[in-house]
A and B are shown apart, each in its own frame.
Chain A
């Protein structure tokens, strides 16, 4: 894992050098900014579409995004059960710009969730996938910059997220009854 630690030291080494960059990374790294943005983009996708048919496809994608994110979270939890990697700040000197999370460093939950959002959205709308992917990428980079993850953690998390999105995308016909039920409730509430 030496290259991993080496790369971490390079990226984390920039922290505290440029105050403006630190502020930007602190905005990106926290538990609220990127997740809120990803959730609102997903909520916006629910309403997108000029016709009922297009909207229905988008709403199916939203349901699949939720399932993919849940699956990614589940996979991360399973990994945490069988493997624990200490956080960088626990084992070495780092420039820490975040609080000290106590769970396993590998895989990164943030990267897994971000890539699950982006991967699933990309299968329906390339542009939305790119926007979400950019947000997820910045989120993951900020976690390394601020000293809470090694690069390998976010790569592993990202892979889990991408795999979740791929699996859910391939099996999305299985979620058709779930989508129909959720859209049915939404229509009765005039929101679908």
Chain B
């Protein structure tokens, strides 16, 4: 009978631990700005996250300590059983928190989705070993300078649509490579991707492949640096949040600042446990670009490719740090868009 009572008290304590842990994870999410845990959007002030977490914890305490007096003041789970129920509550609440955060994120992204109207000519093109979206200015006097762009692994061509639109507005054509599939990132095959795209651009009458720039995001940044090192035709390079070192790809808590839990798992999988970063060796090839201009841009809040760790490795090229931006939201930033267009205008 006593054992049964202890189990009952244990189960009630588990429910309390679960409820109080829901609040705890919201506090941790707000404190460490973990997107994967927070139920509130990242633009919402952290104070709201603290308030939500505190409110959940207080409500759990009021329920447990206010209404379960009889269970609390009878022999309950001892030290090891206590830890078992507490750990169970924490882990169950963590799973619930991740799930709710994922659902909330989906709802917000559906609610915030806008179909950006494109006012320029866009076509999907295929070339040997690749596929891409070619963006061309509607009105042009002869062939225009062109920028070849490489998104992150797993991200579609549409992630660089805004950048392409800004470049087109600035008088540039742009070719966004389709590297969504994991097959696109097989080393050394991927080294042929840019040369093939450039060969395709040489055949197009609308583009001037002698005035060619390259832009890459994340691992795409590593790829364009490596490609530019061996292809002198690329006259200017912009690398947004290049990864440079294997440790940038390791799984860990920092990924949850910028991604949901499933996104973080997929991100690690697509980046091949960092082998690609090492194989590309972008950092070692940077000196080979000289005297062609390279600008490396990082978000100051980037914890995936942490600027504080990577800047000492960069040495020569111009580096720009964008305040209040992380790893994944850099490419949409208005400051990045305008400075990229300005950079290519100055150097192409």
Contacts and interface: CB of A to CB of B under 8 A. Distances in A.
Interface of A: 26-27, 30-33, 35-36, 39-40, 43-44, 47, 51-52, 55, 73, 98-99, 101, 109, 113, 186-188, 190-192
Interface in B11-60: 13, 16-17, 20-21, 24, 27-28, 31-32, 36
B252 A31 contact: no
Given A44-B28, A47-B32, A27 B65 contact: yes
Interface stretch (B75-83, B176-184, B238-246): B75-83
Contact of A32 (B24, B72, B90, B251): B72
Contact of B250 (A33, A39, A187): A187
A51 B308 CA distance: 10
B32 A35 contact: no
15 contacts: A30-B65, A31-B82, A32-B64, A33-B61, A36-B20, A36-B86, A47-B31, A47-B253, A51-B308, A55-B253, A73-B79, A98-B73, A99-B73, A187-B252, A188-B251
A52 B252 CA distance: 10
Contact of A191 (B250, B253, B306): B253
Interface residues of B, number: 37
B268 to A, nearest CB: 8
B75 A192 contact: no
B256 A190 contact: yes
Contacts of A32: 13, 16, 64-65, 72, 76, 82
A35 B77 CA distance: 12
A43 B16 contact: no
Given A113-B79, A192-B253, 5 more contacts: A33-B65, A40-B21, A44-B28, A190-B265, A191-B253
B185 interface: no
A66 B306 CA distance: 31
Contacts of B31: 44, 47
A27 B265 CA distance: 42
Contacts of A187: 250-253
A120 B334 CA distance: 47
Contacts of B261: 190
A62 to B, nearest CB: 13
Interface of B: 13, 16-17, 20-21, 24, 27-28, 31-32, 36, 61, 64-65, 72-77, 79, 82-83, 86, 90, 250-256, 261, 264-265, 306, 308
Contact of B252 (A43, A113, A190): A190
Contacts of B24: 40, 43-44
B310 to A, nearest CB: 13
A186 B31 CA distance: 19
Contacts of B20: 36, 40
B35 to A, nearest CB: 12
6 smallest A-B Cβ distances: which pairs?
A187-B252, A30-B72, A190-B264, A47-B28, A47-B32, A99-B73
A32 B78 CA distance: 10
A52 B75 contact: no
Contacts of B32: 47
A30 B73 contact: yes
B308 A109 contact: no
B304 to A, nearest CB: 11
B253 A190 contact: yes
With most chain B CB atoms within 10 A of its CB, the pick from A30, A33, A186 is: A30
B22 to A, nearest CB: 12
B254 A52 contact: yes
Contacts of B251: 187-188, 190
A43 B90 contact: yes
Contacts of B86: 35-36, 39
A36 B86 CA distance: 8
Contacts of A44: 24, 27-28, 31
A32 to B, nearest CB: 6
A130 B297 CA distance: 42
A33 B16 CA distance: 11
